[in-house]
Structure 1
């Protein structure tokens, strides 16, 4: 079922809640520039195995409100806390893909992991998506700036270009169109603003504050969040496990969905 949760600044966040009567809960935070439907192939399978799957659309994306501001990691993490409070989540697994992984990490740091028993990071945009003098592993800030500029000039073209680098394996034209449509549901303001956040923000101090078991799933062919980011996360987060995906790019949740689902379930059940 779907419903809305109002944040403390009166922005309504859309929540898709599947199998709400089940105790085993996973809260998914999607990546840029999509929405909760990015996890369709998890939502298809995991509820059959007794999991409650909750997907949220971060502000500005999908069915959530699209304000003019509030797209830094702190505010986005606060939105997650508002959802957790509203539906009284406890002892749940928090999972995030790409910038959703960065938001999940910020939640763990800023809100001291409130309610979270385990953390799962999928091709996370952390500890820094972009290269820095002390961290040469990311992509260039100029590349992200180009995406931001293209968003304001021709957002559909930007989404097409980004979609072409998202997957390592060949995908069908209908699937490519489906992924493209997810990006179109976002606002242009939010698309550019969140890209600015993942270009400029870093989470080196935040990862040191994670106190729960953490699973890191990452495609070795990822051109968006390069694989060395996953290595840095595994080195910086105590009690973490890194599982490389040999046949995936940034879209490992689809490209190797059976392995993805299996690893996630194994992690939760252990």
Structure 2
């Protein structure tokens, strides 16, 4: 089922809550500039396995409200904390992909990992996000030809072949975001660093990263593995930036085994 949670004055986030009676809860944070729908192939399988799957669209993206401000990691992490409080989540696994991984890391440090029993970072945009060069290119496109930007994101995202139908679906997911939120996150990924946050992560952490990732290099996953205590890195050898889809069977299996 889907519902909205108020996280700020005039700002509601959309929450997709699949199988609320599930014995263990997984909270999914999508990547930029997508939405919770990117995890469709996790929701299909993991809910059927008995997990409660919760997808949250951050402010500015998917079905959530799209205010003009609030696109720094602190505010985005605070939004997640409000959702956690309102729907009374506890002892859950937090899964963050790409920028969602960066938000998850900030949540862990800023809110002392409140309610989180396990952390999963998937092709996480951490400890740094975009280079200045990449950010400048995407920002120019976002402010002048956002569909072109989204086509470039799609072209660099996957290592494996995707059909034209899937490519169009992916493209439309990105265009659901507001132009201003799309641009603001680019700036955040360029300017914010997460080195100081990593030492504050104390829960068991699974790091999943595509070896062929052109968006966030695999070397960054190795750095996270070195700097996050009690972490394990699982390389995905046939994936780019989308291991959750490119090797979805393996991804779902590794995730479920990690959670238990």
TM-score (norm 1): 0.95
Aligned mates of 1:179, 1:144 — CA distance in 2? 21
Match of 1:133 in 2: none
Runs ≥4 residues deviating over 4 A:
none
Tell me whether 1:94 sits opposite 2:85 in the alignment: no
Aligned mate of 1:176, from 162, 167, 173: 167
**How far off its partner does 1:141 sit?**
1.2
Match of 2:79 in 1: 79
Aligned mates of 1:199, 1:206 — CA distance in 2? 17
Aligned mates of 1:153, 1:65 — CA distance in 2? 23
Q: Deviations over 1:4-56 (max 9, x none)?
A: 00013331000000000113000000000100000000001000100000000
Aligned residue for 2:145, secondary structure, equals: helix
Aligned mates of 1:185, 1:8 — CA distance in 2? 21
Aligned mate of 2:185, from 194, 198, 212: 194
Match of 2:113 in 1: 113
Tell me whether 1:64 sits opposite 2:79 in the alignment: no
Alignment of 1:1-270 (within 5 A): 1-130=1-130, 140-269=131-260
**RMSD of Structure 2 on Structure 1 (CA):** 0.7
Aligned residue for 1:71, secondary structure, equals: coil
Aligned mates of 2:14, 2:183 — CA distance in 1? 20
Preserved contact between residue 117 and residue 212 of structure 1 (Cα < 8 Å) = yes
Unaligned runs of 5+ in 1: 131-139
**How far off its partner does 1:160 sit?**
0.5
Aligned mates of 2:112, 2:136 — CA distance in 1? 32
Unaligned runs of 5+ in 2: none
Preserved contact between residue 129 and residue 229 of structure 1 (Cα < 8 Å) = no
